[in-house]
Amino acid sequence: MRITLVVLALALAAAGCAVDTSAPARAAADFHAALAAHREDAACALLARKTADKLPDPGQGCADALREVRLGAGGGLVSVSVWGDEAQVRLTGDTLFLHRFSDGWRVTAAGCQPMGDLPYECDVED
């Protein structure tokens, strides 16, 4: 009986500490789904404010800038890593970085390629 209670307590403690990877994965998938549907305004709404503000050239809107960047298809989910309020979502066709804000996960970088030991190089970033 005592072993059962210990195992149950450990299982409950582990469940309480589990990191939610579904929310950043969903935000990344929604971002790419909006791009695939040519709904760049909706994709812009999923960007972090700082990223959306930095993306366009002077006199250009976020949606027009995203059209020009022409990010590739996101593809299927490969992996999600979460560190506190930061996340990396790897899709078969893209790697995105996200930040958790009070209203949910927002994309801070997309179109990212690993550069060996150097930081990722991203087409869209803050």
Domain count, the chain: 1
Q: pLDDT band for position 14 (50/70/90)?
A: very low
Whole-number pLDDT of residue 2:
44
Highest mean predicted confidence (pLDDT) among 51-60, 68-77, 96-105? 96-105
Q: Which of 87, 112, 97, 95 is nearest to 47 (CA)?
A: 97
Query: Is-contact 32 24, C-beta < 8 A?
Result: no
CA distances from 2 to 5, 8, 16, 103 (A): 5, 10, 21, 43
Q: Are 91 and 28 in contact (CB under 8 A)?
A: yes
**Is 5 inside a domain boundary?**
no
> Which pTM value belongs to this model?
0.83
- Answer yes or no: is 6 within a domain: no
Domain presence at residue 1? no
Average pLDDT over residues 23-48: 96
- The pLDDT, as a whole number, for residue 56 is 84
Is the predicted pLDDT of residue 33 greater than 50, yes or no?
yes
Domain that holds residue 44: 19-125
pLDDT, average across residues 98-112: 97
pLDDT class of 17 with cuts at 50, 70, 90: low
Determine phi and psi for 119, rounding to 5 degrees.
-65, 160
**How far is Cα 15 from Cα 28, in angstroms, rounded to an integer?**
24
pLDDT surpassing 50 at residue 48: yes
The pairing of beta strand 94-101 with beta strand 104-115: antiparallel
91 within domain boundaries: yes
Residue owning tokens 């299982």:
11
Better-scored residue on pLDDT, 73 or 91 = 91
CATH number at residue 41: 3.10.450
What pLDDT, in 10s, does the model give residues 78-102?
Answer: 999 999 999 999 999 999 999 999 9
